Structure 1
Amino acid sequence: MSAARVRRDGDVLKIDGRLDRAAVAASWRALQPLRAGATSVDLAGVEAVDSAGLALLAELAANGLRIDGEPAGLAELRAAYRLDGSLGFGA
């Protein structure tokens, strides 16, 4: 799977595929009508994240959504940008 796919399951937003520069704009648009009432984002189906994907996830987290999952690249990007586990700026 390459391009990201976004769907909703109850109060969980699920993202599958690659969350990278090529997928972020379409993923952001797809997420907007699904966000109301959502509590978390499930990344179990995400193959990899780049800095554009991290920015999307950080925005979702800043708006109160819990980010669940650790796709390839996320830990390294969090460390590089000094973000904590909830994608906020660490101390």
Structure 2
Amino acid sequence: MAVTTGQAGSVVASLRRDGEALVFNGVLARDAVAGLWRQALPQLAGVHRLDLAGVRSVDSAGLALLAELAARTGGATVVGLPEGLPELRDAYRLDDALAFAR
């Protein structure tokens, strides 16, 4: 499991590949996004699901990360509904797959 740490060494978020899924845990916030991005990119081939079941909350930077990863996979299914995700999806007019809703 790759772990990204935030301020004062606290665990912010983690990412691992499990079959056809990228599995996220923790808090997907600005402090974690750069590290998660570097970890996710080489693992994207064959990903069909972004598993957010273990994510406690998402901020706008975390949403941007997830939306870009979903787009690069060709529309991976998003599983899980962490705190902040529904409100941010509405604010940025994104659908359940984190694509722009027309």
Same fold (TM over 0.5): yes
Moved beyond 6 Å, runs of 4+: none
| Alignment equivalent of 2:18, drawn from 9, 13, 18 | 9
Cα offsets for 1:5-53 (capped at 9, x unmatched)? 0001111110000000000000111112221111111000001000000
Give, in whole Å, the separation in 2 of the partners of 1:83 and 1:3: 24
Q: Percent identity?
A: 56
1:1-91 mapped onto 2 (5 Å cutoff): 2-63=11-72, 64=74, 65-91=76-102
What amino acid maps onto 1:72 in structure 2?
A: E
What amino acid maps onto 1:61 in structure 2?
A: A
| Higher RCO structure, 1 or 2 (CA under 8 Å, sep 6+) | 1
* TM-score (norm: length of structure 2): 0.83
Matched length:
91
What amino acid maps onto 1:84 in structure 2?
A: D
Give, in whole Å, the separation in 1 of the partners of 2:81 and 2:54: 10
Tell me by how many angstroms 1:55 deviates. 0.3
CA RMSD of aligned residues (A): 1.3
